[in-house]
Amino acid sequence: MKSEWEPSQEDFDRFLAWLDTDRERAGEKYEQIRRKLVMILANRGCTIADELADETVNRVIRKIPEIAATYSGDQRLYFYGVAKRVLMEHWNRRDPQPPPAPDPAENTEVLYDCLERCLDELDAESRLIIREYFSQEKREKIDTRKGLAERFGITPNTLRMRVHRIKAILFDCIVECSRRSEAS
């Protein structure tokens, strides 16, 4: 996701001046904000967090002429609000390609191998959550999910959102893995 607009040196200088009157401190603030944006976007399951963080910063830079004189408060909060909108646009624009249909046994084996590889790429907590979340059926499923939420100290709704994000990461990974397997 890259916008057509790129900031000029003058735009960037105006942006730094808005962050802080001391240019060095402004540069440090910029780096901290960008790192935090990448972290927030990645934690929300975004696989292109760097790109969306850059898009967020560019949008803020573009708005500086309008907001600089009147904006008061913590500038980071403005960035976070813009990042939320950028991420929502990304999810709405995203048109995932479904994985290939598992018709032949060979394709099923490829998808299974891709699933195993993608599960191995997850951090240990995410892997545990996703495996336990889908491990049972009927009443055991409800009890397992309730226990999982309690074990991690989160609400059942937060658990569902976390599982949704993990599934999105796995889906993207499996699609990419199966495409690589088809190409080779």
Domain end (from 64, 93, 122) = 93
Q: Are residues 128 and 81 in the same domain?
A: no
Q: Which long-range contacts (CB under 8 A, 24 or more apart) does 125-131 make?
A: 125/152, 126/162, 126/166, 126/169, 129/159, 129/162, 129/163, 129/166, 130/163, 130/166, 130/167, 130/170
- Residue 136 inside a domain? The answer is yes
What predicted TM-score, i.e. pTM, was given to this entire model? 0.51
CB 20 within 8 A of CB 29: yes
Domain end (from 93, 128, 149) = 93
Q: Are residues 13 and 89 in the same domain?
A: yes
d(CA 169, CA 173): 6
Q: If you average pLDDT over residues 19-40, what whole number do you get? A: 92
d(CA 57, CA 77): 12
Closest CA to 181 of 118, 122, 94: 118
Q: Are residues 113 and 54 in the same domain?
A: no
Q: Are residues 146 and 173 in the same domain?
A: yes
Name residue, tokens 């808005």. Answer: 18
- Residue 100 inside a domain? The answer is no
- Residue 156 inside a domain? The answer is yes
- Domain range for 46 is 9-93
- At 135-159, the pLDDT tens digits run 988 889 889 999 999 999 999 888 9
Q: Are residues 111 and 67 in the same domain?
A: no
> Domain holding 119: CATH number?
1.10.10
Supply the pLDDT for residue 108.
81
Domain end (from 61, 93, 125) = 93
- Residue 16 inside a domain? The answer is yes
Supply the pLDDT for residue 2.
56
Q: Are residues 35 and 84 in the same domain?
A: yes
Q: Are residues 85 and 126 in the same domain?
A: no
* Structure confidence at residue 53 as a pLDDT band (50, 70, 90): very high
Question: Helical H runs in the chain?
Answer: 9-19, 23-43, 49-67, 75-93, 105-121, 124-133, 138-152, 156-183
d(CA 167, CA 123): 13
Which carries the bigger pLDDT value, residue 21 or residue 107?
Answer: 21
- Residue 64 inside a domain? The answer is yes
- Residue 174 inside a domain? The answer is yes
Q: Report whether pLDDT(106) > 70.
A: no
- At 8-26, the pLDDT tens digits run 899 999 999 999 999 999 9
- Residue 4 inside a domain? The answer is no
Q: Are residues 85 and 158 in the same domain?
A: no
Q: Which residues contact 93 (CB under 8 A, 6 or more apart)?
A: 1
- Residue 98 inside a domain? The answer is no
Q: Report whether pLDDT(125) > 90.
A: yes
Domain count, the chain: 2
